[in-house]
Amino acid sequence: MLLVADIGNTNITLGVYKNNKLLFVSRLNTVRQKTDDEYAINLKDILSLYDICDGFSGAVIASVVPELTNVFKDSVYKVTGNTALVVAPGLKTGLKICIDNPKELGADLVASAVGAISKYPLPCLIIDLGTASKLSVINEDGAFLGCAIVSGVEISLDALSKRTSQLPAISLEAPANAIGTNTIDSIKSGTLLGNAAMLDGLSDILENELGKPFKTLVATGGLSKDVIPLCKKEIILNKTLILEGLYEIYYKNVHS
Q: Which residues are catalytically annotated?
A: 108
How is the beta sheet containing 132-138 ordered, strand by strand? Answer: 96-97, 143-151, 132-138, 124-129, 216-220, 236-237
Is the alpha carbon torsion for 102, 103, 108, 112 positive or negative?
positive
Q: How many CB atoms lie within 10 A of CB 229?
A: 12
**DSSP state at residue 230:** G
Contact predicate 222/11, CB 8 Å? yes
Dist. CA 139–CA 22, nearest whole Å: 28
Interior angle at CA 218, CA 216 and CA 224, nearest 5: 155
Dist. CA 217–CA 136, nearest whole Å: 10
Give the chain's length: 256
